[in-house]
């Protein structure tokens, strides 16, 4: 979708196309506050909403970086999703995920959905992604398990 805009620079009117692919910056504290707001209204159903939102983002990222894990790593760091991330077979280890906040349960639902969709696009099959450890709970890293066999 292309939007048309007109700008006046130095008395001259210029037309330009403004792509709908605009981005916004959302500060970490704003993201966490928004997630907590949804959780107070929707309780655990909010986790599914965040997960599905992450899947939408994962689809976009898969189209941008293809199936290359080093490109995915660089992209996730560049976009601010994580400070660092490593891929080891069916395990993903993230450090400093943007969704980390003090909690008794894992909180990285958007990242979990993002990873699930990315790997689905990569291998062409459904992928279940479970967060086994989370820095929100005091764990050293966020650790995700990927399982394509579990989803049949």
Q: Flag whether pLDDT at 12 surpasses 50.
A: yes
Q: For residue 117, which of 42, 64, 41 has the smallest C-alpha distance?
A: 64
Predicted model pTM: 0.85
User: What is the model's pLDDT at position 55?
Assistant: 98
The verdict on residue 9 lying in a domain is: no
Q: Tell me, what CATH number does 88's domain have? A: 3.30.1380.20
Domain span at 133: 27-147
| Cβ 24 vs Cβ 30: under 8 Å | no
Q: Flag whether pLDDT at 19 surpasses 60.
A: no
The verdict on residue 85 lying in a domain is: yes
Give me the DSSP letters along 98-129. Answer: TT--S-SS---HHHHHHHHHHHHHHHTS--EE
The verdict on residue 44 lying in a domain is: yes
Q: Flag whether pLDDT at 152 surpasses 90.
A: no
Number of domains in the chain: 1
Give me the chain's average pLDDT, please.
90
């Amino acid at each position: 979708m292309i939007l048309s805009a007109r700008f006046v620079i130095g008395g001259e009117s210029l037309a330009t196309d403004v792509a709908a692919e605009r981005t916004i910056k959302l500060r970490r504290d704003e993201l966490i506050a928004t997630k907590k707001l949804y959780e107070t209204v929707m309780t655990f159903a909010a986790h599914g909403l965040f997960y599905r939102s992450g899947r939408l983002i994962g689809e976009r990222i898969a189209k941008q970086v293809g199936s290359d894990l080093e490109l995915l790593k660089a992209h996730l760091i560049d976009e601010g999703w994580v400070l660092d991330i490593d891929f080891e077979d069916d395990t993903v280890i993230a450090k400093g995920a943007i969704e980390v906040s003090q909690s008794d349960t894992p909180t990285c639902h958007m990242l979990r959905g993002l990873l699930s969709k990315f790997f689905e696009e990569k291998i062409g099959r459904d992928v279940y992604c479970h967060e086994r450890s989370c820095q929100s709970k005091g764990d050293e890293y966020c650790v995700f398990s990927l399982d394509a066999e579990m989803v049949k």
